[in-house]
Amino acid sequence: MNGVFSAYSGRPFTLTASGASLNMPHNQQTPDQVKDTVDIFGNVGDAGTYFDTSAFKRVTAVRFGNVGRNTMRGPGQRNLDLSLFRTVKLRPTVDLQFRAEGFNITNTPHFSNPNGNVNSSNFGKILSTDSSWAMGRSRQFRFGFRLGF
């Protein structure tokens, strides 16, 4: 029997805003942070926003916002994979191994980063799961046999 437990802090992401006031094509605008700290609520989907969106506002003057790149972090992720192996000797030189593997045993959802666009109606909301191969999958089981000779 073996297992792998993984725990990751949230991935960083950048808050963005409309760059119309800059009149500088291909430059990314960021919003202004108007509160000293940003509260993390941890809500997902229709339950509300992941963080306090009132801590940020759009920039309307001809300047860049005061929020830096990758200053926010999305939700952390935890994952547990387990495997069970059983080997049976069929002959002195032949082994048969049964393998049962389970990925994301706890079936924990792995959420993507919140929407970081201040101009979006979904600003601060998490509306999807992480689609990367390793962390985005739901619970899966795999069974197999291995013949060694």
For position 84, what pLDDT does the model report? Answer: 97
For position 135, what pLDDT does the model report? Answer: 55
In the block, which residue shows the tokens 């926010």? 72
pLDDT tens figures, 88-124: 999 999 999 999 999 999 998 889 999 999 999 999 9
Q: Can you tell me the mean pLDDT for 111-139?
A: 86
pLDDT tens figures, 13-59: 999 998 888 878 788 899 999 999 999 999 998 899 999 999 999 99
Instruction: Tell the burial category of 136 from Cβ atoms under 10 Å away from its Cβ (0-12, 13-18, 19+).
Output: middle
**In 32-64, which positions are buried (b, 16+ CB within 10 angstroms) versus exposed (e)?**
bbeeeebeeeeebeeeebbbebebbeebeeeeb
Question: What is the SS3 assignment for the chain?
Answer: CEEEEEEECCCEECCEECCCCCCCCCCCECCEECCCCCCECCCCHHHCCCECHHHEECCCCCCCCCCCCCCEECCCEEEEEEEEEEEEEEECCEEEEEEEEEECCCCCCCECCCCCECCCCCCCCCCCECCCCCCCCCCEEEEEEEEEC
pLDDT tens figures, 63-95: 999 999 999 999 999 999 999 999 999 999 999
Q: Taking 70 as the threshold, does the pLDDT of residue 134 lie above it?
A: no
For position 136, what pLDDT does the model report? Answer: 58
For position 133, what pLDDT does the model report? Answer: 55
29, β-bridge pairs: 17
What is the value of pTM for the model shown? 0.78
- Tokens representing residue 103 in the block: 């990925």
Q: What residue ranges do the domains of the chain occupy? A: 2-148
For position 22, what pLDDT does the model report? Answer: 82
